[in-house]
Amino acid sequence: MAETGGEVLESATPADAAAVAALLTAAAAQLTAKYGPGHWSRPSTERGILVAMRVSRVFIMRRGDRAVATLALAAKKPWVVDLAYFTPSRRAVYLQSMAVEPELQRCGIGRRCVDQALQIARDWRAETVRLDAYDADAGAGGFYLACGFRQAGRVVYRSVPLVYFERML
């Protein structure tokens, strides 16, 4: 568990699956309202989060009792990632499914999530953190650049344009 600015990123449990799904769905709805329908428009389900918990470590950030952000970290490479675009590394961690409650975006919560995720990756002795973002106005590429990630490449995977990012630790 890491703490910065009062909010704590902690491991989610199966009891948190509904809250995580609600955060992801709210963020997807906000992106759809702002940018129109796209791959980002898909709602999340509690069942889907429970599956994600089997293949990655899902985290939740709370402000008091309120869930305000979520992300997942995985040691196993996601199917959408092509290693040819990244700096070679023996120990990579993959940041996935990050979302901040829409009404709290642009308040520093996302940055705190990334900072804490990087510390967790360091604690896991990772050499790099990798991720992909939509290569569209709805994507978070500018946010990840501002958080110190470097663009590693651009790809189209199953008709979805993506930008790969990495941050060496």
Q: Where residue 80 sits, what CATH number does that domain have?
A: 3.40.630.30
3-class state of residue 3 by DSSP: strand
pLDDT of residue 5: 56
Q: Count how many domains the chain has.
A: 1
DSSP 149: -
Residue 3 is encoded by which pair of tokens? 């703490």
What distance in Å separates the CA atoms of residue 82 and residue 88, rounded to the nearest whole number?
12
What is the extent of the structural domain holding 127?
2-168
pLDDT of residue 1: 46
pLDDT of residue 45: 98
Q: How many CA atoms lie within 13 A of 83 on its CB side?
A: 10
Three-state SS for 15-51 is HHHHHHHHHHHHHHHHHHHHHCCCHHHCCCCHHHHHH
DSSP 122: H
pLDDT truncated to tens, each residue of the chain (169 aa)? 444 457 889 999 999 999 999 999 999 999 999 999 999 999 999 999 999 999 999 999 999 889 999 999 999 999 899 999 999 999 999 999 999 999 999 999 999 999 999 999 999 999 999 999 999 999 999 999 999 999 999 999 999 999 999 999 9
Q: How many CB atoms lie within 10 A of CB 130?
A: 26
Q: How far is CA 46 from CA 1, 136, 137, in A?
A: 23, 27, 27
Chain segment 28-64, per-residue pLDDT in tens: 999 999 999 999 999 999 999 999 999 999 999 999 8
